[in-house]
Amino acid sequence: MEKTGRCLCGAVSFAYEGPENWRVHCHCESCRRQTASAFTTFLGVSNGQWAWTGATPKVYRSSPGVRRSFCGTCGAPVAFEADRYPDEIHFYAALLDDHSDFAPQGHVHWDERVAWVTPADDLPRKPA
């Protein structure tokens, strides 16, 4: 079944087929600063299983080997790609059109979390 997602204004949209590779909450400083939130939630999709279905997003190279895609109209972040993950893209889970069957599997970069947020789940917590 195809899954779809879009940015705030709808200009940038994506679709993918098949199961996600993983689903995690990221607490790293870079993701927090890009999204202005305590943490963000990603899903990993293998290259060849996804496509941009609307406008192609703009790309910001936030650090060596890291590309963060965002909508050029509304500014919403839409995806993360890194040389260390050459075969997949990471979409922001909150952009899914239907998230009724989405469930995160863990927390990553737990050692970089903000002290004022304590998730009330028992998911695995991994450091950087």
CB 52 within 8 A of CB 14: yes
Tell me, what's the pLDDT at 81? 98
Per-residue pLDDT of the chain (128 residues; tens, 9 = 90+): 799 999 999 999 999 999 999 999 999 999 999 999 999 999 999 999 999 999 999 999 999 999 999 999 999 999 999 999 999 999 999 999 999 999 999 999 999 999 999 999 999 999 98
Q: How far apart are CA 92 and CA 79, in angstroms?
A: 6
pLDDT on residue 128: 83
The Cα–Cα gap between 102 and 119 comes to 17
What burial class does residue 101 get, using C-beta atoms within 10 Å of its C-beta: 0-12 exposed, 13-18 middle, 19+ buried? exposed
- Pick from 75, 78, 51: nearest CA to 67: 78
